[in-house]
Amino acid sequence: MKKAVFEDFDGYDDIIGEIEYSRKFGVDYTQERSMPERFINRLHPPRLRLRLGEIIEETASAKTFRLVSEENELPPFLAGQYISLLVETGGILTNRPYSISSPPNQAGFWDITVRRVPSGLVSNFLLDHVKKGEILHSSGPCGNFYHNPLFHDKSIVLIAGGAGITPFMSMIREIAECGLDRHVHLFFGSKTLEEALFHHELTSLSARFENIQYLPVIEKPSEDYPGTVGLITGKLIQEKLGDLSGKTFYLCGPQGLYDFCIPELEELGIPGRKIRKEVYGAPLEVSACPGWPREIHANQAFSIAVKEKGTISARAGEPVIKSLEKAGLTLKALCRSGECSMCRVRVVSGRVFQPKGVPVRKSDTQFGYVHACVSYPLGDLEIEI
């Protein structure tokens, strides 16, 4: 056989020697079988089997579900993160994100707290049908709503509305139980005091810890309610905090809370980078969102042709992901708020409505990819999942 050119290069024999040596004393990669997965699953398991250890009545309309791992140890999470529960109810396989309300130092179980939502498919299924001892499936912890010590202040202002208190419970409990060097001001907006989740625990924590301050703000109080009433206004925040500098603000609650409170904070001169807001699901009534085409009624029916899967029926006011689920096509979604991009699908033809501010990659937009959890058909569609 003809000698290759490079065999004459200076140093060739040394390289051959090096190869022999490295093969003799090298690495046995057969040990690598499924290694990446095993390591990653300790932090980011794709699926967890959880047993419902306890159900705790919190208020007339909310319960805490205590979830215990059936298999391995629960993976770590950051206070504020959520898990996505995979639930089959009414013949529909779907998922819902729930913030973990127990603190990260509690490695034995996770608590999620669920409040009844009118016509809420999954919340009502959990509240009414799921029993202690049953098995639930969830994703690993995910989400970007947590205290980032690299640039968030140690002094934090938490603004919660309704069930939006849950991620903050995890944060506050961690601060209390682990003695973290953080100062908390919690403003908790609730319709009534009776509905305010964790009110007693929060009152007692704020009495015991100097660095935890709690203020319930009741929108529709009973006549003799002596506490703070109304909405969480800039004036109230300014009055309670005094100096607004060196503080990071976190908001979690329904869209109405954001629509009201964020302008109030901006009015106080809080820079945008200091205002963190958790995603809170798809809009309740998308046809009321700015930019919704007035000629299209939320109940208008359309069809979606799903490549290789067949044609399904859809409704303008319902996100594409739901129509898919009703037809038995479940996507691997997590946040259901447009943020995680797991339900990325391609719209081949037809028009969809996407509420303003949904983070979609620029080139995805260019090629018709949308996040199905916050995309609404404005006509017949052809999509690829």
Partner 1 sequence: MDDYDAIVIGAGNGGLTASTALAQKGLRVLLLERHNIPGGCATSFCRGRFEFEVALHQLSGMGTPTKPGPLRMMLGSLGVLDQLELVEMPDLYTVVMPDGFKIGFKPDKNHVLGELKARFPHEHQAIDTFFNLVYAYANQMLAAFFFKDPEPSREKYPDMYACAFKTAAQVLDELFTDPLLKAVISVYWGYIGLPPDRLAFPYLAMIFFTYIEFKPFHIKGGSQALSNVIVNKFLSHGGTVRYNCAVKKIIVEDGAVKGVVTEDGDRIGSRFVVSNASQISTYVGLMDPEHVPDGVQREMRGRSLSPSAFTLFVGFDCEPDALGFTEPTSFLLKDLDVSDRMLGRMGELSIGDQPMVLSCYDVADPDFSPPGTCQANIVILKYGKAWLRVPPREYHSVKFKCAEEMLRRVEEIYPGVRGHIEELEVATPLTHMRYLGHPEGAIYGYEQYIKDSMFFQPGRYSPIHGLYFASGWVGDCGFHPTLQAGLRVAKSIVRKLEKEEK
Residues in 171-230 at the binding interface with partner 1, rule: CB under 8 A: none
Is residue 269 part of the contact set for partner 1 (CB under 8 A)? no
315, β-bridge pairs: 301
Residues contacting partner 1: total by CB under 8 A:
58
Nearer to partner 1 by Cβ, of 23 and 200: the residue is 23
Q: Which is nearer to partner 1, 127 or 252 (CB)?
A: 252
- Least separation in angstroms between CB 36 and partner 1: 5
Could you give the angle at the alpha carbon of 351 between the alpha carbons of 349 and 353, nearest 5°?
Answer: 145
Residue 73 gets which letter from DSSP? P
Report strand pairing: 310-315 vs 82-89: unpaired
- Contact flag: residue 341 with partner 1 (CB under 8 A): yes
State yes or no: residue 3 binds partner 1 (CB under 8 A).
no
Q: What is the dihedral of CA 220, 226, 227, 233, to 10 degrees?
A: 60
Among 344, 374, 376, 383, binds partner 1 (CB under 8 A): 344
How do 381-384 and 344-349 pair as beta strands? antiparallel
- Burial of 177-196, coded b for 16+ CB within 10 Å and e otherwise, reads eeebebbbbbbbbbeeeebb
- The verdict on 285 binding partner 1 (CB under 8 A) reads no
Q: Would you count residue 14 as binding partner 1 (CB under 8 A)?
A: yes
Please identify, using beta-carbon distances, which residue of 15 and 229 lies nearer to partner 1. Answer: 15
Stretch (H or E) spanning 57: strand 48-59
Toward partner 1, which CB reaches closer, 220 or 361? 361
Q: Which of residues 23-42 bind partner 1 (CB under 8 A)?
A: 23-24, 26-30, 32-36, 39-40, 42
Q: Footprint of partner 1 on residues 96-155 (CB under 8 A)?
A: 107, 144, 148-151
Q: How far apart are the C-alpha atoms of 146 and 137, rounded to whole Å?
A: 23
- Among the candidate windows 114-122, 247-255, 295-303, 365-373, which touches partner 1 by CB under 8 A? 365-373
Pairing type for strands 275-277 and 247-252 reads parallel
**Quick one: how many helices (H) and strands (E) in the chain?**
9, 19
Residue at token pair 């046995």: 28
Q: How far is the CB of 133 from partner 1 (least distance, A)?
A: 27
Binding segment (CB under 8 A) for partner 1, from list 169-177, 202-210, 217-225, 361-369: 361-369
Residue with tokens 């009624």: 297
Q: Residue numbers of the site for partner 1 (CB under 8 A)?
A: 4-6, 8-12, 14-15, 18-19, 22-24, 26-30, 32-36, 39-40, 42-44, 73, 75-76, 78, 107, 144, 148-151, 271-273, 332, 339, 341-344, 359-364, 366-367, 369
